[in-house]
Amino acid sequence: MGISKSSIATPFSVTLFLMGWALTPVFVRYMSDAYDPYTQAFIRYLSAAAALWVYAFLFYRRDLMLAVRRWRTLAPISMVVVCMQLAWTIAIYNTTATMAQLVTTLQAPLVILLSFVVFREERDVILSPAYILGALLCYIGVIAVFMRDDGESIRFYVDYAMILLLFVSMAWAVYAVWGRHTAKGLHPVTMFTMISVYVSLGLFMAMCLLGDPSTLWTAGMRMNGIAFTSGIICIAAAHCGFHYAQVRLGSAYCTSLQLITPFITHVLAYTLWPDEALLWIQWAGGAMLVSGGFLVVRARRMQQVQAQKQPVEP
């Protein structure tokens, strides 16, 4: 029996969004000296929109035209992404790449909660003991990540960046579940192509009002090239991979897999910036997050095995 195209595409799409989003905060922090956050967010999304538009026009032209006609559905989702992207970028300018990635893992239990409300097919796995335990570990792990060493003691601390990252987690939960519902009627590539176009327009206005567009020239060709590469890998490829995977695997499951990205980010970022080091209690919180994620994955796999064992009614 040959290997089906779908059996290859799904794990490949998972790899795309995991690696793309693990690299995101590293790219953003690396480019923070060249751009203000508004301009950086714009150039990264603009590069993603341009690359996706060319790709979709060449290979999914009919689906692209359908997505263009669905602007009433996609424009509101895009506004959520504009706010989320700005908050995410500004937060990384005020904290480390590792911390930004760790805090936003709170999106996992939030997506679980919204998926429970919206998608009937998600409810069996979400109600399983393994899934519930995994979600609880995620919450405890996030609390541990919020701990800081002030020189006298280790205490719970929330700053401006953390507040922004909490907002990003909530916005992402809405985007993930809303995006899955929308992607059922659209091709994921063409859907996100149009979202990236609308987001680029929103970020362009934010850059003109709050940022410094002149840095697009002063940053130089090398940095603009890095921003372009970042947009293609971390936005275009990662988002399309995520939407493709979540239609086939479920919103809660795909978001739970993202729990491993903080450690990929940490390994990459720590080689560049010494302040990416974590306290022991933050490491413990991160371990809880990963453990919770594995429990979630196991619960999903068990549900799939049980569904395959059920006899098909004639």
Give me the percent of the chain exceeding a pLDDT of 90. Answer: 33
Q: Report the candidate in 312, 266, 258 with the shortest Cα–Cα distance to residue 289.
A: 258
Helix (H, G, I), strand (E, B) or coil at 146: coil
Cα–Cα distance for residue pair 281/156, rounded to 1 Å: 11
* Lookup: tokens for 287: 């371990």
pLDDT band for 157, please (50, 70, 90 cuts).
low
pLDDT in tens, 13-43: 888 888 888 899 999 999 999 999 999 999 9
* Lookup: tokens for 113: 């909660």
What amino acid occupies position 165?
A: L
Cα–Cα distance for residue pair 19/204, rounded to 1 Å: 27
Q: Report the candidate in 241, 254, 249, 72 with the shortest Cα–Cα distance to residue 173.
A: 254
pLDDT in tens, 194-223: 999 999 999 999 999 999 999 999 999 999
* Lookup: tokens for 128: 């399983």
Please say whether the beta carbons of 43 and 238 come within 8 A. Answer: no
pLDDT in tens, 43-76: 999 999 999 999 999 999 999 999 999 888 889 8
Cα–Cα distance for residue pair 97/134, rounded to 1 Å: 24
Beta-carbon contacts of residue 297 (< 8 Å; ≥ 6 apart): 253, 256, 257
pLDDT band for 2, please (50, 70, 90 cuts).
very low
Angle ∠(46,75,88) on CA atoms, nearest 5: 55
Cα–Cα distance for residue pair 164/177, rounded to 1 Å: 20
Q: What is the pLDDT of residue 261?
A: 81
Positive or negative CA dihedral for 165, 192, 202, 224?
A: positive
Packing angle between helix 71-93 and helix 188-210, nearest 10 degrees?
Answer: 50
In sequence order, what are the beta bridge partners of 149? 154
Q: Which residue is it, tokens 């992402």? A: 172
Q: Which residue is it, tokens 């939960």? A: 173
Query: Does residue 183 register a pLDDT over 80?
Result: no
* Lookup: tokens for 231: 């947009």
pTM: 0.80
Q: What is the pLDDT of residue 3?
A: 45
* Lookup: tokens for 169: 């987690």
